[in-house]
Chain A
Amino acid sequence: MSRAKFFAIAALAIASVSGPGRAEEPGEDRAAMGPEVLHNPTLERTAEQGILRAVPISIELPIDIALRARRVLVHYRLWGDPDWTALELRRNGAKYEGAIPCLEISTVTGDLRYYIRVHDAEGRVIATGASRARPYLVTIKHDTVLEPGQGSGAKCPDPADCPAGLLGCPSERVVEIACQSDADCEGGTTCSWRGFCERADRRKNWFTLGVQQDVGAFATAGACSLYSQENEGFACFRADDAQYTGTPVQTNAKLSGGLGPTRVVLGYERLIHYDTTLGVRLGWAFFGEGPTPREGTAFVPFSVAARATHWFGDDLFARSGLRPYAFLTGGYAMVDVKGSTVVRENPLAPPYQGGNDLEQEVTVWKRAGDGFVGAGTGLAFAWESRRAAFVEVAAHAVFPFGAFVLAPSAGVTLGF
């Protein structure tokens, strides 16, 4: 038996001894306190091992941990290797066993470092043996400098004759490490939404700066009556710039519309899944405000909108490239839309305003709002995974003072 194996079994024996004391603690309290530490005297954290020999590892967990354990992972780093590698131990009765492959040990001498993490069914780390900061050490030495008997044991066999999982042969390499939060992941990795640690340059917080140009359409039937102008957000102006206050005849007028306000938009979006963001956008209309009739409601340039966005593609935020998306949105905004219509005067009604022709074209401003709901689509181009430019267009149904508003916008977005 090599010293490493001896050490590992000794460690788990101590772990077993140390387990029952904590087993009396309620499970909830233990979960709140963090992972259990499989205590091991520092002096026993070292062993020696010959080259080209696998490092077998066997651990027996305390019963309270064993009941909850689903995966036992060994994280190891070879001498000179900058990265940590993980392998999963196989359960064998009450023990978990595995081996650091002999081919990885190779002929390089030096310290092999490793530590053990025990995960529950949800990926939460419930116990650890040593740590990345204070790992177990196995010094790999050349056979010639080992004590007599230490270098014994089978050297690395032909990989073709050594199936994975057998003692002394390579264990199955762990590609994905289960986790529940970033705290369960190490080495710069984070816990993905699929429940595995991963290394990805994926930014979850995105700030947006853009410009939005509203374009609106609205029905002009009855728009220029006194009632509509006093109660429905319309304002009609004649060619001489006087507000129209005549007595129009109701006609089946067409839709009208045109440009609305131009806004600068500041947004924040949070990536809540690989393909989903939730966010809010604040806007300020700096151009395009219509006239406010006397005693009319003043224009509010501020706007705010919530949005939920679905991004079409596989983990788009982890890389650069095109990012098509669609979104639902709703919020608060006043939209002044300029249009025109022809007003026909009622000759038989008492005239309230002079100079109104039988028919005249008037400019109509619709102050639509203040609420809106809508949907839109867009395309972002990320020249880096954390920087992107976008163009999009949204269609808004504005209420209660109704209008149909298209809101194309463009800008840049930065991930943090």
Chain B
Amino acid sequence: MQALLRNLCLGWASAVLVAGCASDALTPPEARIDTPGAFVAVEGYYEPGELTLVRILDRLQFEEARLLFMTVHDARPETYDEARELAKDHELPIRELIRIEPDTVVTQSPHRVVWFRTLTAKEQERVP
């Protein structure tokens, strides 16, 4: 019944050319620095003042620490917006396929989650 009502709603809504029956979304969920698939731009990872784009592959949570499994990309964006645009490229060059670091490497530096893409099976296999 719910499905039927929804379909009718969609049909009649479209018939009168109004936009959908979906409610406005609340603030959409955002990826965090430990979300597998997240692209994080970290400042000063290699060189002070430079942004480095890393991809979170997995995390390992301990009682008082957390390890991040990351792929480090070979990209040097100058701004977070540029990092976001670079992250959308599915063929972005890789500098280090897998790197395991405590999350403090990211959290103790200026950083921003700039993009997200679900991991493919091949990308998940990078995690030992």
Chain A contacts to B: CB under 8 angstroms: 217-222, 231-232, 246, 249-255, 344-349, 351, 353-358, 368, 397-404
| A114 → chain B closest CB, angstroms | 64
Task: Show 18 residue pairs from A and B whose CB-CB distance is below 8 angstroms, ordered by the A residue.
Answer: A218-B10, A218-B14, A219-B10, A221-B21, A232-B10, A250-B25, A253-B19, A254-B19, A255-B19, A346-B28, A347-B37, A349-B29, A351-B37, A351-B118, A355-B118, A397-B12, A402-B8, A403-B10
Contact of B31 among A232, A347, A356 (CB under 8 A): A347
Is B121 part of the binding interface, using a Cβ–Cβ cutoff of 8 Å? yes
> Contact at A249–B20, with CB atoms within 8 Å?
no
Chain A contact residues, majority secondary structure: loop
A232 surroundings in chain B (CB, below 8 A): 3, 6-7, 10
> Contact at A403–B29, with CB atoms within 8 Å?
no
B23 surroundings in chain A (CB, below 8 A): 250, 252
Q: Cα distance A358–B32 when bound, in Å?
A: 13
> Contact at A400–B8, with CB atoms within 8 Å?
yes
Report the interface size for chain B: residues with CB under 8 A from the other chain: 41
| B122 → chain A closest CB, angstroms | 8
| A242 → chain B closest CB, angstroms | 11
Given A251-B28, A253-B22, residue A399 in contact with residue B11 (CB < 8 A): yes
Is B108 part of the binding interface, using a Cβ–Cβ cutoff of 8 Å? no
Chain B residue at minimum C-beta to C-beta distance from A227: B3
| A173 → chain B closest CB, angstroms | 57
Q: Cα distance A397–B8 when bound, in Å?
A: 10
Given A347-B31, A348-B35, A354-B123, residue A404 in contact with residue B116 (CB < 8 A): no
Q: Cα distance A234–B24 when bound, in Å?
A: 21
> Contact at A357–B88, with CB atoms within 8 Å?
yes
9 cross-chain pairs, A with B, having the tightest CB-CB distances, nearest first: A402-B11, A221-B22, A354-B120, A221-B20, A347-B31, A219-B20, A351-B118, A358-B116, A402-B10
A356 surroundings in chain B (CB, below 8 A): 117-118
Is B65 part of the binding interface, using a Cβ–Cβ cutoff of 8 Å? no
| B73 → chain A closest CB, angstroms | 15
Given A219-B19, A253-B22, residue A345 in contact with residue B116 (CB < 8 A): yes
